[in-house]
Amino acid sequence: MPLLSQEIATQVREYLADLTSPVRLVMFTQEFECEFCAETRQLVEEVAQLSDQVSAEIYNFVTDRQKADELGIDKIPAIAVLGAQDYGVRFYGIPAGYEFSSLIQAIRTVSAGWPELLSPEGVRRVSQITSPVHIQVFVTPTCPYCPQAVVLAHQMAVASPMVRADMVEATEFPHLALKYQVMGVPRTVINEKIHIEGAAPESMVLAKLEEALAGSKA
């Protein structure tokens, strides 16, 4: 029984029809103690069927530990979206509900290797970043406002080798929700200390990013 309806599969196929460079969906799973690993794996495999340019690679989080470390994967289910290079685009937890759009958008952006949804000003400022930035966007699948925050973070990851960006499905990682005090989504956490509530505009996220970096230098 496929996860994606015929209608959505058709839409995605059309939307990915003009990809010009290959994208690898590298997925980490394990057989037990992982609520949505099986579904996430199935989803990745189904999406890979919808474009010649998209492939799925499945790894075991325990037995393929080295591969996981290489990509900085520390929890499952996880998807690393890789293109000509690793831009640092990650999904932790199943990208279901509204987040499915974020996954498809990430595939497009990574294939292009260019943050097409970022403003020229945004690209300029993000590409000037010289120290590492880790953006975590906490979401729930039922949140219509969350993809905006996730997509923006992933765009920034593609714009700079210093930036990596994770979607984190809060209900699948309750200990992280607790740790980062997530009581509402989207909640964006930058370098463990700066928080943004809600789907903020690009200019505000940029400002917060720069604030996080200024703080780390001080």
Partner 1 sequence: MFQFSPGAKRYEVLIIGGGPAGATAALYTARAGLSTLVIDKGLTAGALGTTSRIVNYPGVPGPISGAELVRLMRDQAASFGAEFVNDKALRAELTGEEKKVWGGQGVYLGQAVIIATGAMGRARFVPGEERLLGRGVSYCATCDGAFFRGRQVAVAGNNDEAVEEALTLTRFASRVHFLSPTPELHASPHLAEELHSHALVSFYPAARLQEVIGAETVEAVRFTSAGQEQVIPVEGVFIYLQGNMPVTDFLDGQLPTSEGGCLLVDSNFQTAIPGVFAAGDVLCKHLKQAVIAAAEGAQVAMAVDRYLHGREKLRPDWSK
Total number of residues that touch partner 1 (CB under 8 A): 42
Report if residue 183 touches partner 1, rule: CB under 8 A.
yes
Rounded least distance, CB 183 to partner 1, Å:
5
Judge contact between 27 and 16, C-beta under 8 A: no
Strands of 187-190's sheet in order across: 54-60, 23-29, 78-82, 89-92, 163-169, 133-139, 187-190, 194-197
Window 92 to 151, contacts with partner 1 (CB under 8 A): 96-98, 100-101, 104-105, 108, 117, 140-148
* Of 119 and 131, CB closest to partner 1: 119
For partner 1, the closer CB: 31 or 121: 121
CA atoms 38, 40, 43, 48: torsion sign: negative
Asked if 185 interacts with partner 1 (CB under 8 A), we say yes
Which of 73/125 has CB closer to partner 1? 125
The least distance separating partner 1 from the CB of residue 104, rounded to whole angstroms, comes to 6
Pair type for strands 163-169 and 133-139: parallel
41 is an interface residue for partner 1 by CB under 8 A? no
Among 123, 150, 170, 213, binds partner 1 (CB under 8 A): 170
Cβ–Cβ < 8 Å for 89, 106: yes
* Smaller CB separation from partner 1, 117 or 207: 117
Half-sphere CA count of 89, side-chain side, radius 13 A: 36
Whichever of 101 and 136 has its CB closer to partner 1, that residue is 101
The Cα–Cα gap between 99 and 120 comes to 25
Show the tokens assigned to 71.
């990509």
Cα(169)–Cα(176) distance, integer angstroms: 10
What count of other Cβ atoms lies within 10 Å of the Cβ of residue 6? 8
C-beta closer to partner 1: residue 79 or 162: 79
Q: Kindly list the residues in this chain that would bind partner 1 in the complex (CB under 8 A).
A: 3-5, 8, 11-12, 14-15, 43, 96-98, 100-101, 104-105, 108, 117, 140-148, 170-171, 177, 181-187, 195, 197-199, 201
